[in-house]
A and B are shown apart, each in its own frame.
Chain A
């Protein structure tokens, strides 16, 4: 008896928490289908007009493409540098690599506003304010720890004797890294690249600090959309992102 009360109490609690987490995300779906011209629930019927508006708006399209290509470049750069860092650490002594790892992880620990202020100060000096390169550089720095952490995890399973074996068989350090260490790191590199893309695609605080008018990413466009006019296009963009995320997650779960 007590057992079942206990179970009902906690399973109700779990569902409530889940609902609390999901409902604010899901509420954008009906809003995106509204037939009104302001943000609100549908009044007389459902309408796809705001989806059409998104695809027909040059501003929205440009922002989307900017976010995608910057995200891809950031994923490539962060994966290259993050992997190199992780492999280097893997070869270092335990103490040196622990220190290096902590330093690299700081971007995750520092509040985004503080970090963005830092970017702003430096980017002014370097003349990178409001440039694509400036955004790519900032996002690469933010994404690096995610790549390194996932490559660290992949290399944790690599037997240290395997590179030793390669060396004893005649391979130089560089050949060893290419033939043995990188193949072992690949699963971590793929995960890291996905993370890096998401970090960049999703990032807003830094973009608000270091861009003015030249560079507009999708999150910045959504932000401005809320600030300037209460256009339900934002809801349709958000819905598409939610659906896209669900599809990608579903594919990943089903593949396992």
Chain B
């Protein structure tokens, strides 16, 4: 990263004895769509609040283009912010809400009016300019909040779970819109969510937090395909976990044995023969077939039909219950509880994990 717009160094925030943030380092590139993803209590909101300037860090610094802004109040930082509950001003019309940041900056009226129109246009809400916030639906309110946060052309837009109060379909629509808006404006977005779908669908980069620490970061594809720890493998999508023993070493990689079948596993570092490894396997990477066709055999425990996908729980003697997720048009067998099936996967489907305790940069 050549020239980060925002740098966080050694950020620590303690509430009593709890470390909400524990030595976090993070650089944000200019124009990036960065998502802070984690379960509640992971420190993602604390980090965003510290960037916004509402709660100062216990120690560590926040820098904007190389200038330390840790001591600056929120109004001097010039970051737009969009909140979970929209936080529109209830006593002001839509127009006055969007004009607010420009009015506190004492811009001339002609400029304010033009910019308000422009921003309402950006979120397709011109027709609602004279409504009060209480007369709008949740999705419309969030659009206004977005227009308001963008009206003063901030360098960075902070978004704190902006879609979590909306219903599923609207959320999906707004994800597309947010992404399009980001690409069009080139503003840096820092987006906090606990929803992996939002993180995967919009981000240039995802930072996964747990217990106030960064677990892993990377672009959505890398994170999804190469999780480093069981936490990441389970939090971003679903994973089957297997504890295996390395039994052989081949030119192409390692081999582990399950029952009497040897399985190839891609592992980057040298692992000795006989070593125990924890492996993650995505449910959609597993093939299903009639008994005897694939390397492992098991019995169908439960089937869940989800429309586009079909989830099957297969019981294997040694591995226990394995979750398999197949496209409904290509399940491989017609699954029903009690059916004997076989299953297997490709060499690169398994990912060798580190332990959760290992600190990942």
The residues in B between 73 and 113 inclusive whose CB is less than 8 angstroms from any CB of A are: 73-75, 77-81, 83-85, 87-91, 100-101, 104-105
Contact partners of A173 in chain B: CB under 8 A:
73
Is the beta-carbon distance between B75 and A172 smaller than 8 angstroms?
yes
Q: Which of A18-26, A177-185, A214-222, A225-233 contacts B (4 or more CB under 8 A)?
A: A177-185
Which of A164, A166, A168, A184 counts the most chain B CB atoms within 10 A? A168
Is the beta-carbon distance between B89 and A180 smaller than 8 angstroms?
yes
- The closest CB in chain B to the CB of A175 belongs to B104
Is the beta-carbon distance between B83 and A161 smaller than 8 angstroms?
yes
Q: A161-B83, A175-B104 are in contact. Are A168 and B158 (CB under 8 A)?
A: yes
Q: Is B148 an interface residue (CB 8 A)?
A: yes
Contact partners of A171 in chain B: CB under 8 A:
75, 100, 104
Contact partners of B324 in chain A: CB under 8 A:
none
- The closest CB in chain B to the CB of A168 belongs to B81
Which of A161, A165, A179 counts the most chain B CB atoms within 10 A? A165
**What sequence of 0s and 1s flags, for each residue 141-174 of chain B, a beta carbon within 8 Å of any chain A beta carbon?**
0000100110010000010000000000000000
Which of B85, B100, B105, B149 counts the most chain A CB atoms within 10 A? B100
Q: A167-B74, A169-B149 are in contact. Are A162 and B89 (CB under 8 A)?
A: yes
Q: A179-B89, A183-B91 are in contact. Are A168 and B100 (CB under 8 A)?
A: no
Is the beta-carbon distance between A168 and B75 smaller than 8 angstroms?
yes
State which of A165, A170, A175, A179 has its C-beta within 8 Å of the C-beta of B83: A165
State which of B75, B105, B152 has its C-beta within 8 Å of the C-beta of A167: B75
Is the beta-carbon distance between B85 and A169 smaller than 8 angstroms?
no
Q: A165-B81, A168-B74, A168-B158 are in contact. Are A184 and B91 (CB under 8 A)?
A: yes
Is the beta-carbon distance between B54 and A169 smaller than 8 angstroms?
no
State which of A159, A166, A184 has its C-beta within 8 Å of the C-beta of B85: A159
Q: Is B52 an interface residue (CB 8 A)?
A: yes
Is the beta-carbon distance between A164 and B75 smaller than 8 angstroms?
no
Is the beta-carbon distance between B54 and A165 smaller than 8 angstroms?
no
Contact partners of B80 in chain A: CB under 8 A:
168-169
A183 vs B97: C-alpha distance in the bound complex, in angstroms? 14
| Shortest distance from the beta carbon of A114 to any chain B beta carbon, whole Å | 40
**What sequence of 0s and 1s flags, for each residue 50-87 of chain B, a beta carbon within 8 Å of any chain A beta carbon?**
00111000000000000000000111011111011101
| Shortest distance from the beta carbon of B22 to any chain A beta carbon, whole Å | 23
Is the beta-carbon distance between A164 and B74 smaller than 8 angstroms?
yes
Is the beta-carbon distance between B79 and A168 smaller than 8 angstroms?
yes
Contact partners of A175 in chain B: CB under 8 A:
104
| Shortest distance from the beta carbon of B101 to any chain A beta carbon, whole Å | 4
- The closest CB in chain A to the CB of B148 belongs to A169
Is the beta-carbon distance between B90 and A170 smaller than 8 angstroms?
no
Is the beta-carbon distance between A162 and B78 smaller than 8 angstroms?
no
| Shortest distance from the beta carbon of B328 to any chain A beta carbon, whole Å | 42
Contact partners of A179 in chain B: CB under 8 A:
89, 100, 104
Contact partners of A167 in chain B: CB under 8 A:
53-54, 73-75
| Shortest distance from the beta carbon of B103 to any chain A beta carbon, whole Å | 9
A172 vs B74: C-alpha distance in the bound complex, in angstroms? 9
Contact partners of A180 in chain B: CB under 8 A:
89, 91
Is the beta-carbon distance between B91 and A170 smaller than 8 angstroms?
no
| Shortest distance from the beta carbon of A29 to any chain B beta carbon, whole Å | 44
Contact partners of B52 in chain A: CB under 8 A:
164, 168
Is the beta-carbon distance between B87 and A161 smaller than 8 angstroms?
yes
Contact partners of B77 in chain A: CB under 8 A:
168
- The closest CB in chain A to the CB of B82 belongs to A165
Contact partners of A164 in chain B: CB under 8 A:
52, 54, 74, 81, 83, 87
Contact partners of A168 in chain B: CB under 8 A:
52, 74-75, 77, 79-81, 149, 158
Contact partners of B73 in chain A: CB under 8 A:
167, 172-173
Which of A169, A179, A183 counts the most chain B CB atoms within 10 A? A169
Contact partners of A172 in chain B: CB under 8 A:
73, 75, 104
A91 vs B42: C-alpha distance in the bound complex, in angstroms? 26
Is the beta-carbon distance between B104 and A165 smaller than 8 angstroms?
no
Is the beta-carbon distance between A162 and B87 smaller than 8 angstroms?
yes
Contact partners of A184 in chain B: CB under 8 A:
90-91
State which of A159, A161, A169 has its C-beta within 8 Å of the C-beta of B100: A169
A161 vs B45: C-alpha distance in the bound complex, in angstroms? 13
Which of B52, B78, B80, B89 counts the most chain A CB atoms within 10 A? B89
State which of B53, B89, B152 has its C-beta within 8 Å of the C-beta of A166: B89
**What sequence of 0s and 1s flags, for each residue 112-148 of chain B, a beta carbon within 8 Å of any chain A beta carbon?**
0000000000000000000000000000000001001
Contact partners of A166 in chain B: CB under 8 A:
89, 100
Closest 3 CB pairs between A and B?
A: A168-B81, A165-B87, A169-B101
Q: A161-B83, A169-B75 are in contact. List 12 more A-B contacts (CB 8 A).
A: A159-B87, A162-B87, A164-B87, A165-B145, A167-B53, A168-B74, A169-B104, A169-B149, A170-B101, A170-B104, A180-B91, A184-B91
Task: Show 25 A/B contacts (Cβ-Cβ < 8 Å), sorted by A.
Answer: A159-B87, A162-B88, A162-B89, A164-B54, A164-B81, A164-B87, A166-B89, A166-B100, A167-B53, A168-B75, A168-B79, A168-B81, A169-B100, A169-B104, A169-B148, A170-B105, A171-B75, A172-B73, A172-B75, A172-B104, A175-B104, A179-B89, A179-B100, A183-B89, A184-B91
